[in-house]
A = this chain, B = another copy of it.
Amino acid sequence: MTSPDPLLETDFMREMLRQVRAMDSYGILDGKNADELLSPFVLTREDRANIPLIGDPDAEIIARVSAFYNAIAVLIEKECGQMAVPLVHLSHEGFGRVLVTVGKLVVLDRPLRDVHRFGFESFSKMKTEADKQLALATELVGRYPEVARL
């Protein structure tokens, strides 16, 4: 047995796990460990190269994108003590937009592209990306607290 990855003990990765488990209505993932549950979020360069450039994202990938941004929203909420509402909007062929709002403030707003190839090179890269988004969001809430409270 390998020693558990300390990354998996971070707030973000714990929340990711919670999100993935919450989506598992039928208990298909029961008994799997953290590493197994989160491994679909990792896509090496090689994996990515093997996925066609254009494709429709399936329900599983859409759930993954939602899990990622939901987890970020939960951390934003913890950090600033106000409700953070995520909204993942996808049109055909994996194009779309993800928003997180706190009050009337848009604290995260990103275009989504090539969602059928959604993934990160490693857990570490995934967490770095989430931390970056979290920092930007909380900075915005700190700068415009009045709008965030609306």
Q: A-side interface residues toward B, CB under 8 Å?
A: 87, 89, 97, 99, 101, 103-107, 109, 140, 144, 146-147
Count of identical protomers in the assembly: 2
Give 6 A-B contacts (CB < 8 Å), ordered by A residue: A87-B99, A99-B101, A101-B106, A105-B105, A144-B146, A144-B147
Q: Which residues of B contact A87 (CB under 8 A)?
A: 87, 89, 97, 99
- Known A87-B97, A89-B89; further 4 A-B contacts with Cβ < 8 A: A87-B87, A99-B99, A104-B109, A105-B147
Contact of A105 among B97, B99, B104 (CB under 8 A): B104
Instruction: Provide the bound-state CA to CA distance between A144 and B99, in Å.
Output: 19
Instruction: Provide the bound-state CA to CA distance between A104 and B147, in Å.
Output: 10
Q: Which residues of B contact A105 (CB under 8 A)?
A: 104-106, 147
Q: Which residues of B contact A107 (CB under 8 A)?
A: 104
Q: Which residues of B contact A144 (CB under 8 A)?
A: 104, 144, 146-147
Say yes or no: B104 contacts A140, CB within 8 Å.
Answer: yes
Instruction: Provide the bound-state CA to CA distance between A109 and B101, in Å.
Output: 10
Residue of A87, A104, A107, A140 with most chain B CB atoms under a 10 A cut-off: A104
Instruction: Provide the bound-state CA to CA distance between A107 and B146, in Å.
Output: 14
Instruction: Provide the bound-state CA to CA distance between A29 and B18, in Å.
Output: 49
Q: Which residues of B contact A99 (CB under 8 A)?
A: 87, 99, 101
Chain B residue nearest in CB terms to A85 = B97
